[in-house]
Amino acid sequence: MIDAARTLVGSAARIVTFSGAGLSAESGVPTFRDADTNGFWTDYDPAKLASPEGFAEDPELVYNWYNERRRNIAEVQPNPAHLALAAQPDIINVTQNIDDLLHRAGAKRVIQLHGTLATDHCNAGCGFQESVNIADPPPLRSCPDCGNRLRPSVVWFGERLPSRAWAEAEEACLGCDLLLVVGTAAEVYPAAGLIGLAQRSGARIVVVNTNPSAAGEIADIELTGPAGEILPMLLNP
Ligand code: BJW
């Protein structure tokens, strides 16, 4: 299977990746839905915390939960999967991840569909935004412009994805001839719909995952194993 996938990679002119939490798992960032990780989401109800309603109900709890995750990400390093992707400058990396590990690995073309932990913005939408030091994030605080609360710049359930990132991701998936789907359960929409979009526009689909995922149903090739082992084998000459 890996040889067949390497052949697809070798003959593809435009490669796009669509990644999820599994890409950063080997760095030590917990995934969302894997039962065997001591993930942040096993201690809390994700639908409650990662939602506008959860933040409205208990802003301190939700904000502190994100700060715990920020500090975790600041402590970990990009893994061989991030490095293998970053070593291919022509690849466009569409990711659901809100960490900065692809950037820190040196990847130049990164599209973050679900936002980033690196900034906060005004929850009331007044337009205020500021960078956050993820190693030492500030406590929950008010917007200096309008007095409402600041929140992490991530996309919660029920919220629209950032329009520019979404447009760029759609364009990349429509124009690619190979989509590498890495470390995602492919259960959260509209992001997961990019896989079908790429396939319908003629792209081949290669899935890299430690377990079966929803993306496997439409994959041309499924490679089962850790991304940190498979991506270097797939992408390195
Ligand atoms: C490895 C590995 C290793 C592990 N190597 N692999 C259509 C159908 C059904 C539902 C909907 C729909 N459209 C919208 C919805 C509702 C909802 C949704 O999709 N719900 C589903 C749960 C059913 N979607 C939304 O609400 C979205 N908004 C929206 O649609 O708005 C519409 C709108 C229109 C107009 C006006 C207003 C609104 C927003 C979705 C936002 C998702 N946000 C989160 C949280 C971000 C912040 C945070 O982190 O706290 O994003 S949810 C969470 O899931 C996070 C992730 O990015 C996302 C995807 O998770 P991912 O990456 O797949 O992680 P896991 O853990 O699930 O999977 C890891 C995988 O890795 C596993 O498969 C492992 O096997 C594998 N693995 N180790 C390789 N080493």
pLDDT in tens, 206-232: 999 999 999 999 999 999 999 999 999
* pLDDT 10s digits, 196-206: 999 999 999 99
Is there an atom of ligand 1 within 6 Å of 225 CB? no
- Residue 45 is predicted with a pLDDT of 75
- Residue 42 is predicted with a pLDDT of 65
Active site residue 114: yes
Task: At 115, list the tokens.
Answer: 């936002």
Query: For 220, which DSSP code?
Result: S
Which ligand 1 atom is at minimum distance from the Cα of 39?
Answer: 66
**Mutational test site, ligand 1, from 32, 61, 197, max ligand atoms within 8 Å of CB:** 32
Is there an atom of ligand 1 within 6 Å of 104 CB? no
- Residue 37 is predicted with a pLDDT of 58
Query: For 25, which DSSP code?
Result: H
Task: At 64, list the tokens.
Answer: 């502190």
Residues (pLDDT < 70) of the chain are 35-43
Residue 228: CB atoms within 10 Å: 21
Please tell me the distance from the alpha carbon of residue 212 to that of residue 209, in angstroms, as a whole number: 7
The answer to whether 24 and 97 are in contact (CB under 8 A) is yes
Task: At 96, list the tokens.
Answer: 């659901």
- Residue 41 is predicted with a pLDDT of 63
Is there an atom of ligand 1 within 6 Å of 20 CB? yes
203-222 burial by CB neighbour count: b if 16+ within 10 A, else e?
Answer: bbbbbbbbeebebeebbeeb
- Residue 32 is predicted with a pLDDT of 84
- Residue 237 is predicted with a pLDDT of 77
- Residue 7 is predicted with a pLDDT of 97
Residue nearest atom 8 of ligand 1, based on CA coordinates: 189
Is there an atom of ligand 1 within 6 Å of 40 CB? no
Task: At 130, list the tokens.
Answer: 């500021």
Order of all β-strands in the sheet with 221-224: 110-112, 92-95, 15-19, 178-182, 204-209, 221-224
